[in-house]
Amino acid sequence: MASSNDNKSTEGGFQDGNSDPNDEETNELCPGFKDVDAFVKYGLGAVLSATKASAGLPQAGDDYDFYRSFPGFQEFCESQGDKLLHLMSQIMQHHGCRSHMRDRNKLTGLEERFDLVVDSNDTILERAGILLDEADGVNRSQQPVMPAGFQPPKIVVSSWNRKGSGSGSRPETFRLLHAKNVARPQLKFKEKVDNSNTPFIPKIFIKPNATKPLPSYFTNKQIRKERPEDLDVPAALADFIHQQRTQEHVEDMFAHPYQYELDHFTTPENLLSKPEVQMYKPMAETKCSFIDTLEDLVALNEKLCKLSEFAVDLEHHSYRSFLGLTCLMQISTREEDFIIDTLELRSEMYILNEAFTDPATVKVFHGADSDIEWLQKDFGLYVVNLFDTHQASRALNLARHSLDHLLKHFCNVDSDKRYQLADWRIRPLPDEMVQYARTDTHYLLYIYDSMRAQLLEFHHGQPGLLQSVWNKSKDISLKKYLKPIFTEESYLELQRKQKKSFNTQQLTAFRLLFAWRDKLARQEDESTGYVLPTHMMSKISEELPKEPQGIIACCNPVPPLVRQQVNELHLLVQQAREMPLLKVSKDGCQQWAYVLSISAAFLKELETKSDQTSLSVAHMKASRIIESFENPFRMYLPPSDVHINKNAKFDPSSKIFEVNKLHLLSYHMSNHMFDSLKGGGKKRERVASEVGESTPKPSKKLMKSADKPQKTEPPSQESFTPFDYSQSDLSVFAGTKSKSNTQFDPNRQAPDFKKKVFISGNRSMSYMAGKSERGFRHNWPKR
Ligand code: AMP
Ligand code: MN
Ligand code: ZN
């Protein structure tokens, strides 16, 4: 692969992407080959005939021994063998690998030489992978860790992966990807994204339509700015510092800013009686405005405030950002459609609170659960007087409750949900995507009318059913956005879902990788699924690879950040390997099993010794272990004489809440343990036998109190079917064919990589046979 232009290349060989100024002029990849296709074709032909020839050689054993008896054959074999070894050495040297292939005397055996080849192959393939990524337009080289939200765009434009500018009709050998090269919108945000491991505080600072004023915390800009943003501050401590600084009631900080208004909101009478169903305007006759300036946004808000209803939808991106980004807002009135560029107007969107919280205006959404959270998270927007057509669909008991179904059912419109998972960060927005986005709200007010009418008909004009939909909608608008909070226990919940029985080493690896992934995702502002998909994390933990290469082998394709930090990851795996080896249950509570097994050991000790002294010593040991297990967060908690606002303990979004619960949990567990230890023979037997079977199960009650108040696990990818871009014409995005798109998608299991594994000693080597189809298929974290 590399040897043909050996003498031409500089020290870096392939690595050197920027240094060949002649590339563009000569239009040749390397002498004699006009492009990569030609080179690969030639290379494959050569490899094929070599393979054929080698298969035709006399087989080891009698065949070979017979031929060996002819001196001519022997000589030929030796000279060819030397030649081959020399070539292999050269290739290996070229790639900076150990290469004593030819020094036969210095080598003890074939096996060692084989290992050398395996190592070199791994190194070469690894480099090929990096270079392919680079060709893709992504620079994987070490970068300094940037503060959250500030990451240089990961685009490398080098002479050979740049689109052929001005080179006429020459077909491009490498094409850049549309979605790959979307500049990170985060870079343009006026306000930095806060990925710190602290509870979410509402972004609101002006409260239109208020009956209860906004707590002073939100109106005082200075105080708001003082919140510690250091990513490494344990959340409980951050909360505490923050309280001390602001002397503010935590209760007010974390509450829903429109809780009071929503609690006192009653659906107006006219919305509970028979509506006049107003037909939608044909899309083709409807004006559609793209809003990306403050001026237009203000005008839109004024327009909306005068209406009795309007429809809203959002498009969101969650793959290349830790908390996700709301990229688009669609609004439809009876007369017009609006598409708002919420990436551009992110810091100004709060203006719409005037219309959105106006109780006199109905806001119609379909399936608003996520939208309500995203509005809070990105813009500090809230909704008062919501009607959710998804809730209406449920109340009407329709066959399906998706928007496509409602569109078909009420409007006989065939919608194309293919764009639902498109990369909504793309700008300018392709026409197809604008059309798709419009469809999501354009018909919604008509559907709202029709559904209200049906809900009343259903109950013979009685408003009960309709009222229940209004109530359910209100409950949704009361939802609070909760930030994913990392705790020392978060990993357990996710591990449990893997349905894999891990021993203590594997579980430790899972815990360490989980923490690494969370930290990196926050720092780099990427989703955890982008940093390291769960199934790969699980595989690494399961295999506990001895070498960094083994970690790479667990991932296909290799996530960029894994490749970049493979040595750090390897250290974590090594650390896990140092754990004492114990089997852990499927339910996988490491400490639980650990404590149980150690306690069991002491119980055995108790059983064998009968005198009183040894019993109390063992008892003491057991209690010390249990004590140490008691509260992993103790060190983060302020001393007991410091006042902690009691509300924090009951606010599920607060870390103190978590800590408080954990404390309770461990208290329960310790008590339970002591009960078992102190209890009669029957109980003792149970504990001991549980350890024998390695399946101790925390009681239901305990499990329940261990439940997290919010979803902290990264989204699982299991039940989600990725959107297949290969089906659509994406030429609009980048003016390129979609065929050779090579978006990195770590969630994809890459079925086209025909993976072969050579086992040699305890090492394994993998390589890709056949052409890798690294097609652009997004796999999005599940909502
Ligand atoms: P929709 O309300 O259908 O327009 O969806 C709004 C946003 O939700 C989309 O932009 C996606 O980010 C996200 N989304 C919708 N469906 C899915 C899904 N099946 N899996 C993951 N994300 C989804
Ligand atoms: Mn939606
Ligand atoms: Zn939508």
Over 256-272, what HEC string results? Answer: CCCHHHHHCCCCCHHHC
**φ and ψ of 425, to 5 deg:** -80, -15
CA of 154 to the centre of ligand 2 (A): 30
Ligand 1 atom with the shortest distance to the CA of 327: 10
780 Cα nearest atom in ligand 1? 21
Taking the complete model, does pTM exceed 0.95, yes or no?
Answer: no
Beta bridge partners of 362: 309
**Annotated domain spans of the chain:** 68-102, 216-254, 258-478, 489-578
Residue 732: both structure tokens together: 């609009």
Residue 223, token pair as written in the block: 């105080």
- The CATH number given to 258-478 is 3.30.420.10
CA of 12 from ligand 3 middle (Å) equals: 48
* CA nearest neighbour of 649 among 659, 637, 636: 659
User: Does ligand 1 come within 6 angstroms of the Cβ of 93?
Assistant: no
Query: 366 CA to middle of ligand 1, Å?
Result: 12
For residue 714, how far is its CA from the centre of ligand 1 (angstroms)? 16
Q: Is ligand 1 within 6 A of the CB of residue 316?
A: yes
* Number of neighbours of residue 497 by Cβ within 10 angstroms: 14
Question: How far apart are the C-alpha atoms of 402 and 404, rounded to whole Å?
Answer: 5
- Give pLDDT, residue 113: 74
**Which ligand 1 atom is nearest residue 366's CA?**
2
Return the biggest CA–CA distance within the chain: 106
Q: Is 782 touching ligand 1 by the criterion CB < 6 Å?
A: yes
* Structure tokens given for 499: 């349905």
Question: Could you tell me if the CB of 419 is within 6 A of ligand 1?
Answer: no
Regions in the chain scoring below 70 on pLDDT = 1-27, 62, 100-111, 129-180, 222-236, 238-250, 584-783
Rounded Cα–Cα distance for residues 489 and 702 (Å): 14
319 lines ligand 1 (CB under 6 A): no
Q: Looking at the CA of 440, which ligand is closest? A: 3
Q: Is residue 780 lining ligand 1, measured as CB closer than 6 Å?
A: yes
User: Residue 302 Cα, ligand 3 centroid: separation in angstroms?
Assistant: 24
Q: Ligand 1, atom 20: nearest CA belongs to which residue?
A: 782
Q: What is the pLDDT of residue 402?
A: 96
Is 174 touching ligand 1 by the criterion CB < 6 Å? no
Asked if 553 and 545 count as a contact pair (C-beta separation under 8 A), the reply is yes
Q: Is the CB of 424 under 6 A from ligand 1?
A: yes
Q: How far is the CA of 316 from the centre of ligand 1 (A)?
A: 7
Q: Is the CB of 720 under 6 A from ligand 1?
A: yes
**Where does 375-485 have alpha helices with state H?**
389-395, 403-411, 431-442, 444-458, 464-477
What's the 403 CA to ligand 2 centre distance in angstroms?
9
> Looking at ligand 1, which atom is closest to the CA of residue 318?
12
Residue 174: CB partners within 8 Å, gap ≥ 6?
Answer: 36, 135, 160, 161, 740
Distance, CA 315 to ligand 3 centroid (Å)?
5
Cα(423) to centroid of ligand 3, in Å? 12
Rounded to an integer, what distance in angstroms lies between the CA atom of residue 607 and that of residue 596?
16
* Beta-ladder partners of 326: 316
Q: Are the C-beta atoms of 204 and 380 separated by less than 8 Å?
A: yes
- Tell me, in angstroms, the distance from the centre of ligand 2 to residue 367's CA: 6
Residue 313 alpha carbon to ligand 2 centre in Å: 5
Identity of residue 140: R
**Residue ID of nearest Cα to ligand 1 atom 21:** 782
Atom of ligand 1 nearest to the CA of 422: 10
Q: Is the C-beta atom of 388 inside 6 A of ligand 1? A: no
Which atom, in ligand 1's list, is nearest to the CA of 315? 10
Among protein residues, the one whose CA lies closest to atom 13 of ligand 1: 316
CA distance 97 to 118: 11
Residues 6+ apart with CB under 8 A from 551: 540, 545, 562, 566, 569, 570, 573
Q: What is the pLDDT of residue 66?
A: 83
| Domain covering 489-578 in this structure, CATH number | 1.10.150.80
- Residue 39: its pLDDT value, please? 81
Ligand sitting nearest the alpha carbon of 719: 1
Q: Which backbone phi and psi does 769 adopt, to 5 degrees?
A: -105, 145
